[in-house]
Amino acid sequence: MVGLNGSGKTTLFKLILGLLEPEAGEIYVFDRARTRKNLWQVRQEIGFLFQNLDDQLFALTVWEDVAFGPRNQGLSEDEVEERIRTELGIVQMSDFRDRPVNQMSHGQAKRVALAGVVAMRPRILFLDEPFTGIDFPMVRRLVKIIEDPRNEDMSVLYTTHNRFFLENWADSVLVLRNGSVLYDGSVNEALAREDVLNQIGNWEHLKQDMIESRNRVRNIGYPT
């Protein structure tokens, strides 16, 4: 999902999650209206990675933070522990299980937050600017989680201002403008429309960004 700052990307996430209520109309999630009565059930099926990690990490240790979601789903402690070990292993944070969450770098915190969300096995995962402020090796770890075969039934919707990720890691794109949907469809068709490109950035500068991004990824051994 793309759009200029203030276009409504984060607001849309919050409306779906029930963190905000619409002024008019209804919100449908998985073909059913999202109401206050079924909000808890809807949230069990949706994972969300906040852009501001301070809104998401609140337990004392890494282990406890990742355990929070699965435990609230009523899973057995054996299942909770299995999921924690699996997800922390994928993000290479197993050795940090007893580390206080407030003593991690931004990249480490993002890995832990994503591990905690994926450990809940949501049907859909919302990622708000997931690749902001991290280097490409870190991006590879995050993408590895998203593409893990165990998560093949999980849909992923993420916001981004980075055209490289839009072109390479998106099956379709939703473009917002001033709180409304401007375009919903294939990435290739979106990038052929001038009105869509205006909501992403200057196209000539955009193409150069993607070329430079590909070169950086190729230099660290990631296929392009």
Round to the nearest angstrom and report the end-to-end CA distance of the chain: 22
Alpha-helical runs (H) found in 73-202: 77-90, 106-118, 136-146, 163-168, 187-190, 194-197
Domains in the chain, CATH or no CATH each: 9-219 (3.40.50.300)
- Predicted local confidence at residue 62, as pLDDT: 95
Q: How many helices (H) and strands (E) does the chain have?
A: 10, 7
State the CB neighbour count (10 A cutoff) for residue 146.
16
pLDDT at 219: 65
Mean pLDDT, consecutive 10-residue stretches, the chain (224 aa), reads: 88 90 90 89 87 83 95 94 93 92 88 91 89 75 70 83 79 92 92 82 52 62 55
pTM for the model stands at 0.75
